[in-house]
Amino acid sequence: MATQHFVGFLAWGAATRRGRAGATWQACLCRVLHVSEGRKACGFFYLSSFVSLQTFEKLLIANRGEIACRVIKTCKKMGIKTVAIHSDVDANAVHVKMADEAVCVGPAPTSKSYLNMDAIMEVIKKTRAQAVHPGYGFLSENKEFARRLASEGVTFIGPDTHAIQAMGDKIESKLLAKNAKVNTIPGFDGVVKDADEAVRIAREIGYPVMIKASAGGGGKGMRIAWDDEETREGFRFSSQEAASSFGDDRLLIEKFIDNPRHIEIQVCGDKHGNALWLNERECSIQRRNQKVVEEAPSTFLDPETRRAMGEQAVALAKAVKYSSAGTVEFLVDSSKNFYFLEMNTRLQVEHPVTECITGLDLVQEMIRVAKGYPLRHKQADIPINGWAVECRVYAEDPYKSFGLPSIGKLSQYQEPLHVPSVRVDSGIQQGSDISIYYDPMISKLITYGSNRAEALKRMEEALDNYVIRGVAHNISLLREVIIHPRFVQGDISTKFLPEIYPDGFKGLFHLGIFLIFLERIPVAKSKRSTWELSVRLGDGIYPVAVSKDGSSFSPCLVSQQVEVDGMKLNVTSEWNLASPLLSVTIDGTQRTIQRLSRNASGDTSIQFLGTVYKLQILTKVAAELSKYMPEKAAEDTSSILRSPMPGAVVAVSVKPGDTVSEGQEICVIEAMKMQNSMTAAKTGKVKAVHCKAGDTVGEGDLLVELE
C-alpha cells in the first residue's frame, strides 16, 4: 500500500511537470490508484482537503530553482495562483515558466535580486500577492523580511518574527533550548568579537572547536579548528562567508563533537498551540558541512531514542510558539546521546524523504497553518511507512575536494523518471545554464521502497539512468557512497567521506567498462566473427578478444563473448542510436552504460556505475604503433597557481617580488557563496600576479606565477 501511495505522488509530479493542474491531475491520480473523492491518496494528502480548502488566491515565491518549482506544484493542486521572481540571468528558468506570473527583481548577484527586499516588496504590491513562501536560503529566515510583510498585511508562509529571531540566532536558540530542557553542546554562549577572543575561548572549551555563523545555515560560515592558527583562519573565513550569505557576520564557538551522526527531527506547529514531530532524517553523509545523501528513517535510532528526540524537538517548538514546518537538528554520538545543534525555521532541502514515509505534503501544511487552520493530525497519526533516500545531485567535480563547483550549459538532460518509485525535484531543463551566482544543485533525486534495501537498489538504477551533459556532476560519488559496505550496513558518521576516501575521491575501477567497445565493432553486414583489440585505460593497456555468439547479428540486439585479460564474459546489448543510454547484460546481470563522447581516433568517454572513464579503443596493430607516438609533457604546476574552479576573486594576498612559503595563502576564490583559500605549492618569489579582487575567473585560469 505504501508503494501505491508513492506511485500516486509520482503521477502528480508528472502531471504538474507537463503543465497540467486541477482536474487533470485528479484524473491522473485516480487512474493510477483507483481512488474516490475524499479517500487518502498519494500517501500524503486528502483529495477533499485541497478541493474545498480556502487559503489564498495568489502567492509569491521569494526563491528560485527547484524549491520554487516544488512550491508551485503544491499551489497548483490547491488552486492558488503563483508569482515567481527572478534575476535577469534567470529569465528563462523553469520556475519562471511554471508560475502564472513572473517579475524580474534585479541583476544576477543575490544581493541585488533574491535578497533585494525593496524590489520584492514592490513586486508583491504590483501583483497583489496575498502571501509569500520563502523556500529555503535567501530570505527564508530573515526576520526583517517577515516583519515588512506583516506590516503590509501580507502573510509570511512560515513562523512569526519572534520564532525566526529566537531560533535563527544560534546563540539565543541555544539558551532557549537549555531552558526548554533540550540537550545542548558545551560552548560559549555569546558573540565572539575578534580572532584573539576566538583563540581564548577555544582554549577554554578545549580543541577541537566548531566556529559557525550565528545567523547561518547550510554549511556556510562554518569551520572546524584544531589549534590556535586554524581558529584565527576559521574566524576570518567564517565571518566573511556569514556576511556574504546572511548579511550577519556574528560568530559563536562550541565544542566539536568528533565522529557524530547528524540526525534531525521534522516538526510542524500551528497557531493554536499544537505541535507534532514527524520522525527523523539521517543526514550524516556530508562534505564541507553540507549534506549530500539523506534518508528517512535512520538505521541508528531505536523507538525510545526517536521518541525522546521528537519530544525535545516539540518542547523547543512550543517554547517559541512555533507555527509552521521547521527542523530541529541534533548531533548523536555512538552511545545515542543527542545534542541540540540548531533549529531551521523554514522548509528543509531534504523534506521530500519525510513526505515519502509520513504521507504529508509539508508545503501544503505550511500554507494551511499560515492561513490559521489547525493541524489535522495527532502525534499517533504520524506513521513510518517504508524507506526513502535522497541524493543531492550537484554540478560539481567530486574528484576535487569531494566537489568543487562546475558551470556551463546543460547540453543534454534526462531525468530517470521511468525508473519505478523515483521522484526528482529540480528547477532546470535541457539548455539551462549553471552559473557562478547560485548554489550548484541540479536536483534532488529521491527513491522510495518498502524497506531500505529496496530504496537503495532503486537509487542505483536511477543514478545509472540519469543523463547530465555539459557540466561536471557528482553522480559517481553518490553512486559509490550508496553501495559502500559501511553505508549499506548503516555504519556512518559525518566523517564518512574523509574516512572512506582519505586521499580524496578517485572513482571506481571496473573491468566491465571495456564492454563499451561493442560500439567500435562494425556489426552491420560484417562477415568477421572475431576481433582482437586493445583498450588503454590510464596507464594500463588490456588485450581484448571479441567473438560472435550465434550465426548472425541483429541490427538492434547484439550478443557476443568478450575476453578481457583471460576473463570471459557473455554480453548482450540493445542498440538505440537515439538514446544516450545503452542497456547491456553481462553474464545475466543488466547494466546501464552512457556513452558521453567518441572520436575517430578511438578516444571514448563513457559513464559506467556512476564513474566516467576515458579510454582508447584500438586495433591490435594500431595499439602496437601507438607506443611510438610522443606524449605531451605534463605541466609543472609547482611554480604556478591556477583556479581549480570558476568563481570570483575575493582577495589577493601577494604582489610581485614577495617571498611566499609552501602552504601560504595566495588568494581567496568565492564560488557558489563558499570561500576557498588558494595556497602556494612551494616556497619561492612571486614573479607575476594575474588577478585582482573582484575579478571573475574560470577553471584553469592562471592566477599567480612563482620564479
> Any idea which residues carry the catalytic annotation?
342
End-to-end CA separation in angstroms for the chain: 69
Classified as helix, coil or strand, 348 is: coil
- Confirm if 215 and 168 have CB atoms less than 8 A apart: yes
Exposure string (b/e) for 17-50, b if CB count within 10 Å is 16 or more? beeebeeebbebbbebbebeeeeebbbbbbbebb
Residue type present at position 284 = S
> Who's near 674: CB < 8 A, 6+ residues apart?
220, 241, 288
DSSP β-bridge partners for residue 267: 277, 326
Classified as helix, coil or strand, 439 is: coil
DSSP-derived letter for residue 99 is S
Maximum alpha-carbon separation in the chain: 82
Residue 345's alpha-carbon distances to 167, 268, 326, 356, 417, in angstroms, are 7, 10, 5, 21, 31
Beta pairing, strands 209-213 & 251-255 = antiparallel
Residue 505's alpha-carbon distances to 94, 372, 481, in angstroms, are 32, 49, 10
> Who's near 475: CB < 8 A, 6+ residues apart?
393, 463, 466, 468, 607, 610
Q: What is the dihedral angle through the alpha carbons of 384, 385, 386, 389, rounded to the nearest 10 degrees?
A: -60
> Who's near 561: CB < 8 A, 6+ residues apart?
546, 547, 548, 549, 568, 569, 570, 571
Which of 191, 204, 205 is CA-nearest to residue 238? 191
Classified as helix, coil or strand, 449 is: strand
Q: Measure CA 301 to chain center.
A: 24
Q: Does residue 208 have a cis peptide bond before it, meaning omega lies within 30 degrees of 0?
A: yes
Residue 632's alpha-carbon distances to 541, 597, 601, 652, 702, in angstroms, are 18, 22, 17, 32, 20
Which of 96, 117, 95, 98 is CA-nearest to residue 106? 117
Tell me the C-alpha distance between 549 and 562, whole Å: 10
Residue 573's alpha-carbon distances to 517, 576, 605, in angstroms, are 12, 10, 18
Tell me the C-alpha distance between 340 and 351, whole Å: 19
